[in-house]
Amino acid sequence: MGCDGGTIPKRHELVKGPKKVEKVDKNAELAAKWKYCALSQEKLRRPIVACELGRLYNKDAIIEYLLDKSAERPNAEAVTHIRGIKDINELNLTDNPEWEGERRNAKGDRYEDIHSSMFICPVVGLEMNGKHRFCYLQSCGCVFSDRALKEVKTEICHKCGDPFKDEDIVVLNGTKEEVQKLKEKMDESRAKTKTKKSKKSKAVETVSTLAESQVHYPTGSSHQEMQQQYSEDAQPPPVVVSGGKPQQNGDESSQSAVAGPSGASSSSKGSKSSTAPATKRSFQDMKEKSEVFKSLFTTHSSAKRSKDQTSNWVTHTPYHF
């Protein structure tokens, strides 16, 4: 059986078999995780942040998402667990000195290494390209390879020197099992923070209720009567003078008796100032002042002008023109 031109078709060209499952290119998958933002699908550029699940983002993309969550984005499902800026950590990355940029092989005359990365581990020197496991510390944001954390065991960060715990280590772009563990850890920590906040609110409520319960009003009395009674009780006790008559501490006689001459002088001054009305006295009426001194003021007779000396009244903005 032939066709025009004497060609003989083969069986796979005539009979359609089952479709082959398309396999994802590993290099493309690694590049999508380690070189592109998980939200905007743009290339990673500083400042770079990571969430509690170990995904990499551009900080400006996360801020835009938090400002407007209703906008459509290509991969909005990856950031549903991010509620605010506190749920992300800015990464302290180490630059790769051998990174020449994306246009280093523009002519096509050199071998282009797909697995080269912009960042490396500051301890071991491994490139952060997805072939090696990398982690970051939630306490300071420094990024290291898993090999460096295992070989050099310490409780202090290798780069900045801040202390950290094993709970602060988060795997970057981990497997599904590791992401599931990180998610459970995130849910537990958020539940603990909720319980702490509820306990604090309950403590504040109990303190307020205790403060209110300390004041008891007897039955059959109004609130104003109780205030008056407590104000009367709050007055200082009477002071017994040498005459034997009790007087209140607020009286002038008691103050003069207790304070002595100084108290008497102060009380007399206060009584004079309170009883005597404030009268104004003109300098022209003072006999002890000289005429030269009195002429310095406008109330002096020399400062007053007669009708002939005064000028006519003129408006500031005349309307006669």
State the pLDDT confidence band at 64, using cuts at 50, 70 and 90.
very high
**Through-space distance between the first and last CA atoms of the chain, rounded to whole angstroms:** 118
Rounded distance, CA 148 to CA 146, Å? 5
Answer whether residue 309 shows pLDDT above 70. no
Rounded distance, CA 134 to CA 117, Å? 13
Q: What is the mean pLDDT of residues 218-222?
A: 49
Please give the structure tokens belonging to residue 89: 């950590």
**Within 10 A of 117 (CB to CB), how many other CB atoms are there?**
21
297 vs 111 pLDDT, higher one: 297
Q: Phi-psi category of 130—alpha, beta or left, where left has phi over 0 and alpha has psi -120 to 50?
A: left
Please write the tens of the pLDDT for every residue from 137-180. Answer: 999 999 999 999 888 888 899 889 899 988 899 999 999 999 99
State the pLDDT confidence band at 316, using cuts at 50, 70 and 90.
low
175 vs 106 pLDDT, higher one: 175
Burial of 239: CB neighbours in 10 Å, binned 0-12, 13-18, 19+: middle
Please write the tens of the pLDDT for every residue from 27-40. Answer: 888 888 899 999 98
**Within 10 A of 261 (CB to CB), how many other CB atoms are there?**
8
Q: Domains of the chain, with CATH numbers?
A: 26-99+114-186 (3.30.40.10)
Q: What is the mean pLDDT of residues 189-207?
A: 79
Alpha helices, H only, the chain:
11-14, 26-34, 59-67, 146-151, 176-213, 223-233, 252-259, 261-275, 291-294
User: Going by DSSP bridges, is the β-strand pair 88-90/134-137 parallel, antiparallel, or unpaired?
Assistant: unpaired
Instruction: Write down the pLDDT at residue 14.
Output: 82
| Arithmetic mean of pLDDT over the chain | 75
145: part of which helix (H) or strand (E)? Answer: strand 143-145
Q: Give the range with max mean pLDDT: 22-31, 134-143, 225-234, 276-285.
A: 134-143
Please give the structure tokens belonging to residue 313: 């009244």
State the pLDDT confidence band at 104, using cuts at 50, 70 and 90.
low
Instruction: Write down the pLDDT at residue 266.
Output: 44
Instruction: Write down the pLDDT at residue 273.
Output: 45
SS3 244: coil
123 vs 295 pLDDT, higher one: 123
Judge whether 55 and 62 are in contact, CB under 8 Å.
Answer: no
Write the single-letter amino acid at 191.
Answer: A
**Is the Cα torsion angle 100, 105, 110, 113 positive or negative in sign?**
positive
Rounded distance, CA 163 to CA 154, Å? 9
6 vs 140 pLDDT, higher one: 140
169: part of which helix (H) or strand (E)? Answer: strand 169-171
Q: Give the range with max mean pLDDT: 3-7, 72-76, 274-278.
A: 72-76
Rounded distance, CA 146 to CA 54, Å? 14
Answer whether residue 114 shows pLDDT above 60. yes
Answer whether residue 246 shows pLDDT above 50. no
Judge whether 256 and 267 are in contact, CB under 8 Å.
Answer: yes
